[in-house]
Chains A and B, each alone.
Chain A
Amino acid sequence: MKRFPGVLANDCVDFEARTGEIHALLGENGAGKTTLMNILYGIYQPDAGDILIRGSPVSIQSPREAIELGIGMVHQHFILVPTHTVSENIVLGLKGKFFFPEQAARQKIEEFSDRYNLTVDPEAHIWQLSAGEQQRVEIIKALYRGAQILILDEPTSMLTPGEVEDLFQILHSMADEGNTIVFITHKLNEVMAVSDRVTVLRQGRVEATLDTAKTNKRELARLMVGREVLFRVEKEDVQIGEEVLRIEDLHALNDKGLTAIKGVSLSVARGEIVGIAGVAGNGQRELVEALVGLRPIEAGHIFVSGQEATNRSPRDIIERGVCYVPGERFAGLVPEMSVAENLILKTYRDQCFGSGPFLNTREIAGRADELISRYGIAAPGRDTPLKLLSGGNIQRVILARETSGEPSLLIAAHPTSGLDVGAIEYIWQLLLAERERGAAVLLVSEDLEEVFTLSDRIAVMFEGEFMGIVSASDADLEEIGLMMAGAHRRPEQEVLA
């Protein structure tokens, strides 16, 4: 039995898991699930509160100590060495036999394989294995080190449905043997399918701990997304113009070569903001990258202002009037360079900044000053290196750059992540102003409040597909929550506006 009252940021969390149970930890991103488990695994230290394992208080300073206490963690992104074999990965770092170290593991691996149905070939190289098989290696790795409490962080994010089934069977058999499983997820189907109890976290607080058998998806969804009053900003009624972006049945792969987007269709018109809601990791990043030419499109089409834009180069897309605020800020910035130099990153080729090969530094400086004052960027000067600015100001620089060119399509991914309230409000106003100007805006965000406040229509993304596209005014929070968790889908005919 493991109990864990702890302080996360501002809130107290009481969490308890029993021997032989599968306990799901449910919540959106930023709800605090991963932080909680990281504390358990010794990566962070709690500011207050205690951890008790089997009734005795413990202090966990590092993953090593966690392992010694019998806690094992299977991360969302596997930490395996691809060129090594399974058995080599399992024994890596352990003291043991000097010669043929992986032989010693073989016997135990077979034992675990039989006991829990974790079939995997000890001699296979990791790169040869499917995601599901790799995950089994991770589980065996934890078990081999004596784990009796197993934490799995979003374990099904990389698995096929068949592999998910197999995983559940494995978890059941492990729980039956007396192990404790903690299962972090945002997917309701899974919670209902495999867990005995579920704890719902929201914004760092425990909303409830329930017996799975005694609850249902609607209730969980409601607990997960909450029912706070969403504050609406003054939104003008804007005439919706012609379609600027059209995505038809898009398919794309992620960095590991697995399908990340399976058949996404969407249309965005001038004067509207379409928000893509969803827990991170469901294909949003890949979708945006595909739109701006940074990721190859396997199938389907993209049209910008009526023209074919599938698999065009980033330069091409930029020239069609598409501007992009990347989710990872520094993918679109050069921190060592000055503010002014960052501001011209997209526009330096324009004639106004210099005819022929030369850059007209005076023009650039003038423009920079203008943008700095217009967008209220707090910086000592236009020549200040960008890295010295605060997060909010860095974001203003990006937005200044991307919106000053009056794009026809603005794609903004996580534009306010990590920023303070003042910065958030400013950016919201900016996005709304773009909408009023007549730009088409595609917003990707994990922050439901943001999506609800700004969007005219909301598309919910889950496992590479849109579960539904609804108009914001008649969006039901509970329904959105269910869609985000994969438990609900809107009928096809409402997908394209």
Chain B
Amino acid sequence: MRGIPTLEVEKRLTSPRWLQFLAPFISLILALMAIGVIFQALGVDPLFAYGKIFQGAFGSMYGLSETVVKSIPLMLSGVGLSLAFRARFWNIGAEGQLLVGATCATGLALAYPDWPKFVLIPMMFIVGFLGGALWGLIPALLKARWRVNEVITSLMMVYIASNLVNHLVYGPWKGPEEMGFPYTSKFSASAQLPRLAWTRIHYPTLVLALLLAVVIYLLIARTKWGYEIRVTGENPAAARYAGMSYLKTVVLVMILSGGLAGLAGVGEVAGIHLRLRYPGGISPGYGFTAIIVAWLARLNPLGAVLTSFLLGGLLVGGDAIQISLGLPSATIFAFNGTILLFVLGGDLFTRYRIRVKRRTTN
């Protein structure tokens, strides 16, 4: 008796190398097609829109420079997230860690505007790193000690950080000359990061980001810590068996992940805005977009360098279509979200295979 064919998802034993490499690209293309459909349905000409996005991001020197600008915080946060996610620690709070880093650096800049530049800037980075690290440490401790779900805690910490920034810029830190806007005073000259020529690229942060991407890559791939992190992420039971301390691993990972996001925050306030502003003005969701950066790069820090450029470009392109097509800036979120979904789905195909199975009965 023949049975009814059913679709079953079964795990692949190996995924061919070519598939693993190609999958993100295929997903990307499929995502773009899906977005095209949505655009069409909402009365936007998709090809025109894509053209504008590409042109805006890569079609001019200005566009390219802006792409680099946006890729800096994405790179720093993304590298940090790739580390955290390798340990299967779902750090959703990079946005909050970024804001706290920015806040700490701002505090220093406002308190000691007269320090010489070569002292103030490095100190700002250090303080920003520590602030972000602390912010990331809290969910880590809660997880390691009390087994509290890190997704929720890190997410809640974002909103606590956001409110903290609001409190400061509307209140005690509000710049007196800013006419009631939620800004701090502009940073003194020694607290401002130098820029590359006529662009807004604050190159010290960029260099730092590239360096750290390499450092983190080496950490994961070549050190004993990195080994512990990978084992903890792949099989926590084996990690226990081997005598690895979950607490130590997770604390280390989150200090780095939070700290890197903190550095991103420092870059934004000291390199771009030159002051602390209301949260949305500092980061249009870099911490969340960084999740896509890390995931697209398959949690490889070096890959994150590339994907941060890609997503940075998308953000710039999003600004471009806002101007040319009158689309709201939130449009680019739809892009990012769809890409993320398709990448997730595509990832699936490298690990699973769809089979048609017939259930037979005798």
Contacts and interface: CB of A to CB of B under 8 A. Distances in A.
A349 B235 contact: no
A331 B13 contact: no
Nearest to B237: A331
B223 A357 contact: yes
A335 B237 CA distance: 12
Contacts of B242: 314, 318, 332, 345-346
A326 B14 contact: no
Given A335-B235, A337-B234, A313 B227 contact: no
B231 A345 contact: yes
A333 B13 contact: no
Most buried by A among B238, B245, B362: B238
A387 B231 contact: no
B237 A349 contact: no
B79 to A, nearest CB: 18
Assign chain A's interface to a size class: 35 or more
Nearest to B243: A315
Nearest to B244: A315
B17 interface: no
B224 A348 contact: yes
A294 B240 contact: yes
B361 A314 contact: no
A387 B13 contact: yes
Contacts of B240: 294, 314
A359 interface: yes
B230 interface: yes
B243 A332 contact: no
Assign chain B's interface to a size class: 20 to 34
A349 B245 CA distance: 13
Given A337-B230, A354-B224, A331 B241 contact: yes
Nearest to A332: B241
A360 to B, nearest CB: 9
Nearest to A353: B224
A294 B224 contact: no
A334 interface: yes
B248 to A, nearest CB: 11
Interface string A18-54: 0000000000000000000000000001000000000
B225 interface: yes
Interface in A325-353: 326, 330-337, 341, 344-346, 348-349
B223 A359 contact: yes
B147 interface: no
B141 to A, nearest CB: 19
A332 B361 contact: no
A334 B238 contact: yes
Interface string B196-225: 000000000000000000000000001111
Contact of A359 (B13, B14, B222, B238): B222
B214 to A, nearest CB: 14
18 contacts: A293-B243, A315-B245, A330-B235, A331-B237, A331-B241, A332-B241, A334-B231, A334-B235, A334-B238, A337-B231, A341-B227, A345-B238, A346-B242, A354-B223, A357-B223, A357-B224, A358-B222, A358-B223
Nearest 7 A-B pairs (CB), nearest first? A315-B243, A314-B243, A357-B223, A334-B235, A334-B234, A345-B242, A331-B237
Given A315-B243, A359-B226, 14 more contacts: A45-B362, A294-B240, A313-B243, A314-B243, A331-B237, A331-B238, A333-B238, A335-B235, A336-B235, A341-B227, A344-B227, A357-B224, A358-B223, A388-B14
Interface of A: 45, 61, 292-294, 313-318, 324, 326, 330-337, 341, 344-346, 348-349, 354, 357-359, 361, 385, 387-388
